[in-house]
Amino acid sequence: MQVPETEHIIGMELYATTAEGIGGMLRQEPEDFIVKEVSGWEVEDSGKYLILELTKKDWDTHHIMRDLSRALGISQKRIGFAGTKDKRAVTTQRISIFDIPLETVEKVHIKDVQLTSIGRYRRAVELGDLLGNQFKITMRDISLEKDELKNRMDGITSEISAMGGVPNFFGIQRFGAIRPVTHLVGEALVRGSAEEAAMMYIAASFREEPEETRMARDEVRNTRNFAQGLRTFPPRLRYERAMMHYLVEHPGDYKGSFSMLTETMSRMFVHAFQSYIYNRVICARIQAGIPLNRAIEGDIVCFKNSGSLPDTSRTQRVNAVNLDGMNNLIKRGRAFVTAPLFGYDTEMATGIPGELESAIIDELKLKPEDFRLEELPAMASRGQRREILLNVQPRFEILEDDLKIGKLKVMVEFSLPKGSYATTVLREYMKVDPLKMS
C-alpha cells in the first residue's frame, strides 16, 4: 500500500500493516487528543519546589509557561517542566515552581488551565523527567459502515499485536507537517553548503502554505533580495526574518545567518536529517523481511534501564553465540533491536543489518566525519542508536460521530515511552495524508 508523498519525503516509505486504512481526521476538537504524562518519581511533603499538575486545553506549552510566570510575577526560569505537549489537545503534565507558596498559585486563574498541587520536591522538574505519555485519541469523520470499520480496526490491531508493536518512526512533527524541510536543511549543512541550507529554510515553498507566503518565499528564492523579503514575509515567520535581516547586514554570510537561531533550533536540522536516515533503515529492514521484534546476527541491541526504558548507552552486538539469549531478552522486554542515528561516532551493525544500513549511507554518499560540521561545530552530532519498535497495545471503541451526522468515530487508547510519536501508531490505522493527522 503506497504511502502519501509527504511521508515518503521524510523516509517513511511504507506501512508496517497490510490491512486497508479507515481514513478519518484527527484534532477536530481539542478534546479529541488527550495526553497525560507518566512520571517516574514520587513527590514529597517538603522541598523548595512546589510540584503541580498542569492541565491545559488548546495551549502551546511555551505560551502557557510565559503567561503563568507573568501571572505569578516571577521569572519563567523558576518554572520547570519535563516536555512540551501538543497545542490542539487536552494535556496533563507535572511542573515545578521554585520557592513559591501554594496560596500564591491558588490565586491565579487562566482560561482553560487547571493547576493542582501534588506536593513538593527537593529539585525542579527538568526536560526529560518522564517515562512516557498515555493517549486517548479520537479519529473522526469516518465514512465506513460499522461492521467494515470494526473489521479493519480488528485486522490492523491484530497485525500490530503479531509484530509486537509498530515501527518507532520519527513522525512528521520532526520534519514539519505543512513544510517538511527541516531534514533537507540538515542535509545541506552536513554536506557543507550553508548557502543551500539557508535558502532552503528561508525560501523553499510548499503548496500547503498560504499563497501569500508561497509567493514571498518564491520571490526571495529567485532574487536573493532579502530586504524585499523582510517587507513581504509575514511577521509570524520570525526565524526566517531574523536570518534575512542578518543577510541584509552581512551579505553572503549564510553560515553566520544560522547564529540568529537558538542553539536548540540549530541542532534540530542535523537531528532531523539523522531521523530521515533512521526512518529509511527501518523501512529497509521491513522490506527485507527482517522482524523488528527479533534480532539476527550483526544487530546491535540495547537494554532496559531502571525506569524500564531502552538505554541506548548500553549496547551489545548480536552473534551466533548470544543470539538465542538476546532474543529471549527481547521477548521479555528487557532488550531492544536498534538502528543508527548516523553521526561521526555511531556504532554500526554488521551482517545483513549492517549491509542495509551501509547501503543507505552509501546511496547518500555520506561519511561519519561529515557530521562533525567543522565550520559549524555547535551543530555537530556524534550519533547514537535508537530502538526500532514501539511495544504498543492499542485498545479502541467505535461510536457515532457527534460532530458529523451519519459518520462514525473511533476512540483509541495506548501508552508510549518518551521521545516517540502517537502519529506513528495512528497512521497504521488511518493511512491518510499527514495533514489530516496534524
Residues annotated catalytic, as ranges: 86
| Amino acid, res. 41 | W
Show the CA angle centred on residue 240, arms to residues 239 and 244, nearest 5°. 120
Cα–Cα distance between 29 and 413 in angstroms, integer?
17
- Specify which residues 142 forms β-bridges with: 408
Tell me how far apart the 2 most distant CA atoms of the chain are, in Å. 66
CA-closest candidate to residue 31, choices 411, 421, 435, 429:
411
Kind and range of the H or E run holding 277: helix 263-287
- Residue 144 Rama label (left phi>0; alpha psi -120 to 50; beta): beta
Strand order in the sheet with 310-317: 310-317, 300-304, 335-341, 384-387
Strands annotated E in 244-284: none
- Residue 112 Rama label (left phi>0; alpha psi -120 to 50; beta): left
All cell numbers assigned to 46: 517538603
For helices 263-287 and 182-190, angle between their N-to-C axes, nearest 10 degrees? 100
**Cβ 388 vs Cβ 282: under 8 Å:** yes
- Specify which residues 335 forms β-bridges with: 303
Cα–Cα distance between 379 and 376 in angstroms, integer?
6
Cα–Cα distance between 276 and 274 in angstroms, integer?
5
